């Protein structure tokens, strides 16, 4: 069994540990939580990538790789995520558990200091980041932002989110934007980095076989400078309850074979903080969140209107986003059918099998979270960003009690806000 602890190492710096022997690796993440804002998002997103280029002790990729290889192929990846209107940036690291080393070495004693160096002791040039690294990673980031267009399914969802929340912080992409990224300089980035070190909320996560005390001790040493300074505040999220009146429609043309239709709904103010949250979760699962959902069974299977149709819930911002892949000329039928499925839930037309199936699949997914180090980390970061402390098993238990009437009421609250359609070029 695993045991979860959470402790404050310094004001605004928290450590969560999941103590368990069931994995062959230890999983560690250190994440800065900051408000997602247009002005700072691009620089924030760039920082972990620049940090990953070199430390004072290992100033280039070769020497960093050598350190990681001697930790049995450990990985330390820069990660930028978005939870509601919080930008979460930092490192996610995986290392071999001590039990599986060939000569009984302890990996964690090498790994945690390395992560600490990567975060806090970058190789410097004239008192700030090395300019070649800033330039290199800036170019890579511009490419990364541009190539978001390559994955059309994700691109459509991203466009939907930014159109829907234009003028709201949620409308800012997790990576920021191309123009602001291209304008970053070594000096401006260094200033932003210092600001992060001083003011960002910090969430540290460890999952593995080491005793929490041992982990804490190693982290206190490796992150000492971070614990000694700082006035850290917790980022908030603005919720807009109602959809645009009338809903917005946007069509974009591109040279693609398959169309992408995406619909965004506001949840009438229901979020992870509402008492009705379990009902909203189940409502989304019935609508488009599982293979038993109305979108999957009706729009895809019964009517063959699309290859995929699903919905996802942004629990902090209060959004339900539907995404589907369709033939260009099916757009009107598909959109109407998607809305008709939501109306069916509102009218209480949900069969027992649909409701129970959705409930079982959600509960099963929450319980299975405990079996995956990466999913568990993602789950706990989501809780941390929302300022919540609900264990997956607790959420599973709450879902057991949700009634059809509560699901129906949650569906009643959804308001269509924006429709986005990615279509082909006209011949």
Binding to other proteins in span 242-281, by CB under 8 A = 252-258
Q: Is 69 in the site for other proteins (CB under 8 A)?
A: yes
Q: What DSSP line would sit under 132-144, residue for residue? A: HHHHHHHHHHHHH
CB of 258 to other proteins, least distance (A): 4
Q: Is 140 in the site for other proteins (CB under 8 A)?
A: yes
Q: Which of the ranges 67-75, 81-89, 117-125, 237-245 carries the binding residues for other proteins, by CB under 8 A?
A: 67-75
Q: Is 357 in the site for other proteins (CB under 8 A)?
A: yes
d(CA 302, CA 229): 60
The correct pick among 225, 249, 307, 349 for binding other proteins (CB under 8 A) is 307
Q: Using CB under 8 A, which residues numbered 281 to 300 contact other proteins?
A: 290-292, 297, 300
d(CA 422, CA 324): 10
Q: Which of 13, 148, 32 is nearest to 83 (CA)?
A: 32
Sign of CA dihedral 91, 92, 98, 104: negative
Q: Using CB under 8 A, which residues numbered 383 to 402 contact other proteins?
A: none
Task: Draw the binding track, 172-211, toward other proteins (x: CB under 8 A; -: no contact).
Answer: ----------------------------------------
Q: b/e per residue, 48-64, with b = 16+ CB within 10 A?
A: bbbbbbbbeebbeeeeb
d(CA 339, CA 316): 23
Contacts of residue 157, defined as CB under 8 A and 6 or more positions apart, other chains included, come to 262, 321, 323
Q: Is 106 in the site for other proteins (CB under 8 A)?
A: no
d(CA 335, CA 1): 46
Q: Is 3 in the site for other proteins (CB under 8 A)?
A: no
Q: Is 427 in the site for other proteins (CB under 8 A)?
A: no
Q: Which of the ranges 38-46, 220-228, 369-377, 411-419 carries the binding residues for other proteins, by CB under 8 A?
A: 369-377
Radius of gyration of the chain (CA): 23
Coil, strand or helix at 34: strand
Task: Draw the binding track, 19-48, toward other proteins (x: CB under 8 A; -: no contact).
Answer: -xxxxxx-----------------------
Q: Which of the ranges 11-19, 75-83, 210-218, 227-235 carries the binding residues for other proteins, by CB under 8 A?
A: 75-83
Tell me whether residue 332 or residue 371 sits nearer to other proteins (CB atom). 371
Q: What are phi and psi of 312, to 5 degrees?
A: -130, 155
The correct pick among 238, 353, 397, 405 for binding other proteins (CB under 8 A) is 353
For Cα atoms 404, 409, 414, give the angle at the middle one, nearest 5 degrees.
Answer: 125
Q: Is 11 in the site for other proteins (CB under 8 A)?
A: no
């Amino acid at each position: 069994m695993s045991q979860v602890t959470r402790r404050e190492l310094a004001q605004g710096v928290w450590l969560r540990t999941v103590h368990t022997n069931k994995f062959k690796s230890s999983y560690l993440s250190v994440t800065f939580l900051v408000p997602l804002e247009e002005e700072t998002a691009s620089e924030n997103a760039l920082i972990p990538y620049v940090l990953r280029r070199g430390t004072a002790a290992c100033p280039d990729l070769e020497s960093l790789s050598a350190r990681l290889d001697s930790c049995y192929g450990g990985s330390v990846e820069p990660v930028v995520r978005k939870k509601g209107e919080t930008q979460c940036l930092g490192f996610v690291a995986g290392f071999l558990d001590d039990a599986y080393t060939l000569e009984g070495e302890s990996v964690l004693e090498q790994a945690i200091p390395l992560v600490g160096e990567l975060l806090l002791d970058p190789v410097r040039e004239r008192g700030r980041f090395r300019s070649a690294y800033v330039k290199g990673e800036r170019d890579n980031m511009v490419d990364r932002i541009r190539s978001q267009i390559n994955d059309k399914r994700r691109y459509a969802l991203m466009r939907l989110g930014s159109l829907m929340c234009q003028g709201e912080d949620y409308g800012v992409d997790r990576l920021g934007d191309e123009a602001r990224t291209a304008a970053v300089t070594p000096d401006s980035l260094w200033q932003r980095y210092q600001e992060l070190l001083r003011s960002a909320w910090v969430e540290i996560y460890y999952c593995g076989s080491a005793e929490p005390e041992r982990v804490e001790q190693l982290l206190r040493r490796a992150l000492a400078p971070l614990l000694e300074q700082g006035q850290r505040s917790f980022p908030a999220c603005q919720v807009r309850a109602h959809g645009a009146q009338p809903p917005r429609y946007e069509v974009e043309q591109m040279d693609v074979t398959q169309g992408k239709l995406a619909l965004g709904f506001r949840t009438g103010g229901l979020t992870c903080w509402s008492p009705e949250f379990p009902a909203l979760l189940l409502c989304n699962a019935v609508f488009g969140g599982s293979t038993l959902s109305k979108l999957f069974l009706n729009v895809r299977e019964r009517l063959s209107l699309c290859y995929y149709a699903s919905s996802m819930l942004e629990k902090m911002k209060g959004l339900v986003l539907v995404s589907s892949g369709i033939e260009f000329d099916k757009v009107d039928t598909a959109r109407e059918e998607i809305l008709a499925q939501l109306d069916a839930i509102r009218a209480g037309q949900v069969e027992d099998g649909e409701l129970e199936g959705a409930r079982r699949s959600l509960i099963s997914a929450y319980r299975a979270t405990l079996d995956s180090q990466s999913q568990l980390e993602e789950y706990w970061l989501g809780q941390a960003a929302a300022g919540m402390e609900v264990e997956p098993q607790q959420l599973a238990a709450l879902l057991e009690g949700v009634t059809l009437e509560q699901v129906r009421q949650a569906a009643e609250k959804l308001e269509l806000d924006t429709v986005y359609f990615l279509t082909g070029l006209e011949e």
